[in-house]
Structure 1
Amino acid sequence: MVFFGMGRTTLVGWLFWLSLILSLSGVPFFAVAQTPAVCNDSVVGKTESELQADLLLCNAEIARWQGVLNDTRNRADSIDSNVQALTAKIKAAEATIKSKNIAITQLSSDISIRTLKIKSLETSIEEGRHSLAKLMRDTYQLDNFTLAEVVLQSQNFSDFFSDMEAFSAIQSALENRLNELQEHVSWTEVEREKLNEVQRQELDAKYEVEINKKNITVNQKEQREVLAATQQEAKTYEQIVADRQAKASQINAALFRLRGVDGGGIPFKEALAYAETAAAKTGVRTAFILGILRQESDRGDNGNFGVNVGQCLLVDAKTGDGKGKNTGTPFTGLMKVDRDVAPFISLMQRLGRDPYNTPVSCSGPGWYGGGMGPTQFIPSTWQIFEARIAQAFNVSVGDPWNPQHAIMATSIYLQELGAAQGGYSAEREAAGRYYAGGDWKARGLEYAASVLRHTETYQTNIDFLENR
């Protein structure tokens, strides 16, 4: 292929940037030549091994993009630290400028005081000069008189000599004072010049700080722009990670499909977390709890598995009869009257629900219905565990439709049935008793076998997810 108008270096650079852009957008470069496997959330018609392979790809992509995201966040944190450091420098510069302004103002005040003092001294010197000039004129006049004239003007010789001495003393004192004033003027002028020099230095220092502050502010602005771009880049990677995690969640949902209240799905992540919490409290294996949950929540009204639960409504509290929720089909003896109806109505009242509009499992030939929630507790059995569940979760009423409450109650029940001992025999008997009570050997072994099959499947999948 020939690219007209491009040198080899330009072409290589163009290809590099194009490949980088495409890789960030999730589009593989040279897609025709290379078609690497990518995270795919299409689950329809796939086998478990295919789903697990897809999940591995998604987890690998999550790890890769999470690494990129972490690096980007670290860069953002570093840039943010730089911005904060620059902000601190700007604050310090502003404080220095304020300090310089105060110093300059104080120096201006001191210089003004020195200037006023100099003016006062100069005024005193000027007045002294006038006095000295008068004395000099008087001296001149005295020098122009003859001794006889001076003596004749005086009353006596004593007065004459006294006036002469006083005149000379005043002249000498005035000359000394003028010399002192002149020295003060010189000293004050020197001090004023020193203050002027200090003020000039402060002004220069202030100017340098202001220039430095301006440069720091520009740098801070640039760093903030880089930070904003890096944070936006991190958001892009967060979206990529979230997209891959969503795909992984869809695959998990396909691998671990659990039915919950009224046929709604309980996300496996939540069910697993609830089961792990219950297992930690009771010692019952997590996968075994999930096996019971799968068995109970997938048990349909006609005894088959894979049908939604909670398809019937209570109609008559006196007879325990009910009807199909969607079809209106009558169900005689939906609940056992003397065992389950009263506890059911009491529970509904305390939960604030309508007992005649809350779905429960339907009855069938040879069994009563009335199973509540994802683990299908009948009202009389739930009554046994309700207080403990309420206390465990710090609520006023334990709710069998709350998956967390239901799974914990199931785990406690299984613990009491011996499942916490672990092993095939203990779990098999506990599952049988969970379904058929004391008659578990006759009626509960098929149920137990199904639970254990689900249990092993879940254990394998849990181990796979945890990379054990």
Structure 2
Amino acid sequence: MTIGAAIFSAIAMAVTVTTPTTRGIASPILTVARAEEANPQGVLRGQLDGLTRQIDDLRAALRETRSQSRTLSQERIRLDQEILRSELSVERSGRVIQSLEEEISVLEREIGASEAEIAGQREVVAALLRAIAVSDESFLLSTIFSGGTLADLTDQFEAAARIERELLARIADLRELEAEAGERKLALEEQRTNEETARQLLVVARDDLLVKRELRLQFLAETQGREQNFANQITATEANATRIRTQLYLLADIGKALSFGEAFAVAKPISDAVGVRPAFLLAVLQKESRLGALSGTGFWRTDMHPRDWPAFLTITQELGLDPDQAPISRKPSYGWGGAMGPAQFLPATWLAYRDRVVALTGNNPPSPWNVQDAFAAAAIKLAAGGANERTPSAEWRAAMIYFAGGNWKNPAYAFYGDAVEDLSAAFQAQINILEGR
């Protein structure tokens, strides 16, 4: 055996010993561990699916209840259904968080294993580089002093070439491992963001549940379990249309209070033009303002994603506004802020709807902080999501798309569609009174 062949043989043994795992072949211990990890995830997934089915059934039951005549017993059933649905939403949010924590734990272990494998591959690459240096030196010495044959020289060349090929293969493996580790780290960050979002949604779901329970207690106190008291309550409400018109309607970032009557007056012609119910449009905008507790308190350089800066500066320049003074939502504990006005549009989304808003309102340029323009943009977006079908299921889906975009099917976000549907029903009852229906 020549010197070069001997070196290659030794390095091949070193590679076999120092490589932590054989790529493509699962370790028996790791396989068992992953099988054990998969079981809790499967249980959690089953629990989440079960809760989702229960919430879907309750949503359908609520729609049926709302379609029936208002009686004391029906109203009590409706409130109980809303409370139970909110309780299940809170429970589901907790399960989502638990599931995400499990996934994060698995990813962290996989990243640790990847980093160990990368370290091993780096050691192999270093050993191969040293082997090439030794091989080159040995080849030169043997050529000068050994007086070997042409066959010996050929053998030396082949040994060196094999080492170089092995080196290139190991470098390729190392790069692949590093890319996979990078992808896992990105997935880990995404899951951590999802977990934080789920925790925020859990807080919102709990708050919604508390409101529902308080409404039920108030309802029972006012009716005292008597049908006549409930009938009197309905009559008193219907007689007080003035109170409905003047009650405060919350909107984000408009710099003034708006009454429900004023909001309805803006929403009605826009809704008629795009085919979306005014009650539904007002419910979405109200929910956006209530969720946007951080609205108007952000600064674009720190709270807005840099990718949105050019669009934001285009909008403020068109409107002649100082970008440092334009109100936007502050960055929450997860993700980015930067949403603008009552409809809470991000800058790029606003520019995408700009021309359609101009065609509807005639305001050019339109402003996300203008009530009419914001209502128009929201109505157009909701209609694009299917709200112009004017059915409960279509409106629920449109609200979910408005809130979560491509992730609208995620059950963790269902509380938003449910809350909009509840609010829309309440607003419709008030609109019916205002219109004498």
Give the TM-score normalised by the residue count of structure 1. Answer: 0.41
Q: Which one has a bigger Cα radius of gyration?
A: 1
TM-score (norm 2): 0.44
| Larger helix fraction of residues | 2
